């Protein structure tokens, strides 16, 4: 039995464990263990969103049990205290873990550069608990200030310093600056009483970006009311002050809240390895080109803990998520080779695709591309790219479950319109207002199903006239010259076809009126408004069955003519009466069941989806009068959550979701949402 032990369930640790589990899923001789002090994986790049109140705290943590459900990975909740490299043993507070191969992915922690008081008197932003603590601090300061009558004291309470103009510092101060106006309104505090300062020894914010983009970042922060103090160093931090050094001058400023985002170093467990492994600056472990420790080939290092200068480069790989993703793949591959001997070792050749910085939820900058070919993106596209990349990562970690959760909290339930899309997608309409629409849509479907039973759909073939008549009606309008060749037959076809389209579209529509119009003008039965062929794959048809000037919604019809569907109808369904009847029974039963489900609010989402599918079938075969298009829009409106209000889904769905999540296949592939 070969034991692979991973220390840390951050970005690199989780991805490495998943990739190893996939490689050894059929090998019972390999045991994979991942150890972390928390039972969840934290989205460190989203901490500022929680700290500044944009999203709920639960949105940035992912249960490790859910991540590794159905996979051969032992999740252990423990705090690693030391590693005995000579005896290949990881020693934690709770237990010891023997390994054959160790993956060091313990992540990082803030570094304070020996500045007096920085560790004791600042709020950090490098863990889930840090974000919660800072969030409460910010709100409490505004709550406290709202009750303070002394203007000077009130302004002191509302003084916030963010140290660091790298990614963490800029994103935190930008998010806070966006949050402040809403807090001022809520607690009735004047915006002029709030002081926001971003300080760093750097000459410009985010030096990883080109100077032009750094200037945009600085301009945006200034516009949001942030004072930038560049080329300024922190000399010390006290309980309610911060001392800043610029040149030889040191000044003290009142600061009730100081947020530290000025740099990171490897965690203690990694730094302690210096007695056995080769440690470089920042406590990072020197690795070879295969991501093995330069001192021990059984120890692999990934993510923030690794120190590696790629061939042809001058600087070590950056401590960023993309490095975690790419290094995890290389480490998993090489561990598989070390155990099985199959294939060959793979050298780590990272190809980073740029950086993105969000300044609040509405503005961002990005410098992305391929090595040697980078370009800048405007704000909207930068934010779009940021969310897209997050979704790609979430697919790897928790599939649909996390993607759904992310989209929900970033767009559908976003607070105060703090999204680059504004609040246009955020829920606002009370769901109980959809109840009448849901019930009426269901009633119409039940009525249509019953009417088809009355017309004999359960025992007599009807689809030849149903489909063929409608096609003839459209042909008469689209190709009047051909129709004129046989005016007598055209009159009959027109009348039957118009009635057919009306029946297919809506049992309540004025089929008689449409047929009468067609009969009165057997050749020139109407007018084609649109007849567009798209690459022979689909033809978009929009016609009126009457003179355009006198047309109503009951005269205007829309159809998607799809050759593949026409072939299926003509060759498979229509030639066989038994298949026709079977198809008719399916349509009737589906209409009635959809209607009853919508009226009762039971299985509303699948019922609404089936409603849309039936409408699409009608659009592609008989077409629909515009007077019936409301059913399509109603189906879309009640598609999500409409049965939870005054419906049976309120009782049924929670129980069904519990049962669904217990299915092993569903748990493994994350085909559920919480």
- Model pLDDT for residues 23-63, shown as the tens digit of each residue: 999 999 999 999 999 999 999 999 999 999 999 999 999 99
Q: β-pairing, 101-104 with 296-301?
A: parallel
Quote the CA–CA distance of 325 and 302 in Å, as a whole number: 9
Please tell me the total number of residues recorded for the chain in this structure: 674
Predicted pLDDT at 99? 98
Among residues 164, 166, 167, 194, the alpha carbon closest in space to that of 178 is found at 194
DSSP structural state of residue 572: I
Q: Are 291 and 308 in contact (CB under 8 A)?
A: yes
What tokens appear for 122 in the block?
């600042």
- The candidate with the shortest Cα–Cα distance to 103, out of 31, 6, 2, is 6
pLDDT for the residue numbered 62:
95
Torsion sign (Cα): 498, 502, 504, 507:
negative
Per-residue pLDDT, 369: 92
Domains with residue ranges and CATH for the chain: 2-108+265-350 (3.50.50.100), 118-262 (3.50.50.100), 434-644 (no CATH)
Q: Is 631 exposed, middle or buried (0-12, 13-18, 19+ CB in 10 A)?
A: buried
Please tell me whether residue 439 adopts helix, strand or coil conformation: helix
Which H helix or E strand runs over 194? Answer: none
How many alpha carbons fall within 13 Å on the CB side of residue 548? 7
328: left (phi > 0), else alpha (psi -120 to 50), else beta?
alpha
pLDDT of residue 506: 41
Cα distances (angstroms) measured from residue 490 to each of 412, 457, 471, 481, 500: 52, 26, 12, 11, 15
Strand order in the sheet with 364-370: 354-358, 364-370, 373-377
Q: Structure tokens of 123?
A: 């709020």
Give residue 517's pLDDT: 36
Looking only at the bridges linking them, the beta strands covering 538-544 and 556-561 are antiparallel
Element (DSSP H or E) covering residue 147:
none
Contacts of 619 (CB under 8 A, 6+ apart): 558, 559, 560
The H-or-E segment that residue 307 falls in is strand 306-307
Whole-number pLDDT of residue 424: 87
Question: Can you read off the two tokens belonging to residue 203?
Answer: 């000459």
Q: pTM of the prediction?
A: 0.85
Instruction: Evaluate whether 20 touches 41 at the Cβ level (below 8 Å).
Output: no
- Listed as ranges, residues in the chain with pLDDT below 50 are 487-498, 500-524
The pLDDT value recorded for residue 648 is: 95
Query: Are residues 56 and 409 in contact, defined by beta-carbon separation less than 8 angstroms?
Result: yes
Tell me how crowded residue 108 is: count the other CB atoms within 10 A of its CB.
22
- Burial track 537-563 (b if 16+ CB lie within 10 A, e otherwise): ebbebebbbbeeeebeebbbbbbbbbe
* Spatial CB neighbours of 486, under 8 Å, sequence gap ≥ 6: none
Specify the pLDDT at position 673.
85
């Amino acid at each position: 039995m070969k034991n692979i032990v991973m220390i840390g369930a951050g970005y690199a640790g989780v991805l490495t464990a998943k990739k190893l589990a996939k490689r050894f899923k059929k090998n019972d001789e390999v045991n994979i263990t991942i150890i972390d002090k928390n039972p969840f994986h934290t989205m460190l790049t989203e901490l500022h969103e929680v700290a500044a109140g944009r999203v709920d705290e639960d949105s940035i943590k992912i249960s490790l049990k859910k991540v590794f459900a159905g996979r051969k990975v032992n999740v252990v909740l423990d705090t690693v205290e030391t590693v005995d490299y000579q005896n290949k043993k990881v020693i934690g507070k709770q237990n010891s873990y023997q390994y054959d191969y160790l993956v060091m992915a313990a992540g990082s922690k803030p570094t304070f550069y020996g500045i007096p008081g920085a560790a004791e008197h600042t709020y950090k932003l490098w863990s889930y608990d840090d974000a919660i603590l800072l969030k409460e601090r910010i709100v409490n300061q505004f709550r406290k200030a709202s009750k303070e009558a002394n203007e000077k004291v009130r302004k002191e309470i509302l003084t916030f310093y963010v140290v660091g103009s790298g990614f963490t510092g800029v994103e935190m101060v930008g998010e806070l600056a966006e949050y402040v106006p809403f807090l001022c309104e809520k607690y009735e505090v004047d915006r002029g009483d709030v002081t926001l300062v971003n300080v760093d020894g750097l000459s410009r914010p985010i030096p990883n970006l080109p100077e032009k983009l750094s200037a945009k970042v600085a301009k945006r922060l200034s516009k949001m009311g942030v004072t930038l103090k560049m080329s300024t160093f922190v000399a010390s931090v006290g309980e309610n002050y911060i001392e800043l050094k610029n040149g030889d001058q040191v000044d003290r400023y009142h600061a009730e809240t100081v947020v530290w985002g000025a740099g990171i170093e490897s965690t203690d467990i990694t730094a302690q390895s210096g007695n056995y492994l080769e440690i470089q600056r920042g406590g990072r472990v020197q690795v070879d080109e295969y991501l093995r420790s330069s001192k021990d080939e059984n120890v692999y290092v990934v993510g923030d803990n690794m120190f590696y200068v790629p061939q042809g480069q001058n600087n070590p790989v950056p401590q960023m998520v993309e490095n975690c993703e790419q290094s995890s793949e290389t480490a998993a591959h090489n561990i598989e080779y070390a155990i099985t001997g199959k294939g060959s070792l793979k050298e780590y050749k990272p190809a980073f695709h740029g950086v993105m910085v969000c300044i609040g939820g509405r503005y961002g900058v990005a410098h992305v591309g391929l090595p040697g070919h980078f370009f800048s993106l405007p704000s909207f596209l930068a934010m779009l790219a940021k969310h897209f990349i997050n979704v790609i990562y979430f697919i790897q970690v928790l599939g649909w479950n996390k993607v759904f959760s992310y989209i929900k909290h970033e767009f559908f339930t976003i607070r105060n319109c703090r999204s680059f899309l504004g609040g246009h997608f955020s829920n606002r309409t009370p769901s109980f207002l959809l109840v009448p629409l849901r019930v009426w849509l269901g009633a119409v479907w039940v009525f249509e199903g019953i009417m088809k039973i009355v017309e004999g759909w359960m025992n007599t073939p009807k689809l030849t006239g149903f489909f063929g008549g409608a096609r003839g009606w459209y042909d008469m309008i689209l190709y009047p010259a051909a129709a004129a060749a046989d005016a007598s037959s055209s009159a009959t076809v027109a009348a039957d076809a118009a009635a057919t389209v009306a029946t297919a579209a809506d049992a309540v529509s004025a089929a008689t009126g449409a047929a009468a119009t067609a009969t009165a003008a057997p050749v020139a039965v109407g007018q084609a408004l649109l007849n567009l062929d798209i690459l022979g794959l689909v033809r978009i048809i929009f016609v009126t069955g009457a003179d355009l000037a006198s047309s109503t919604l009951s005269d205007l019809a829309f159809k998607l003519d799809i050759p593949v569907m026409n072939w299926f109808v003509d060759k498979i369904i229509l030639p066989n009466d038994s298949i026709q009847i079977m198809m008719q029974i399916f349509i009737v039963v589906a209409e009635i069941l959809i209607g009853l489900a919508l009226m009762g609010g039971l299985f509303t989402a699948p019922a609404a989806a089936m409603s849309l599918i039936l409408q699409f079938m009608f659009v592609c075969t008989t077409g629909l009068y515009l007077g019936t298009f409301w059913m399509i829009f109603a189906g879309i409106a009640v598609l999500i959550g409409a049965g939870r209000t005054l419906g049976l889904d309120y009782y049924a769905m929670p129980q069904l979701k519990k049962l669904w999540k217990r299915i092993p296949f569903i748990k493994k592939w994350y085909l559920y949402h919480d």
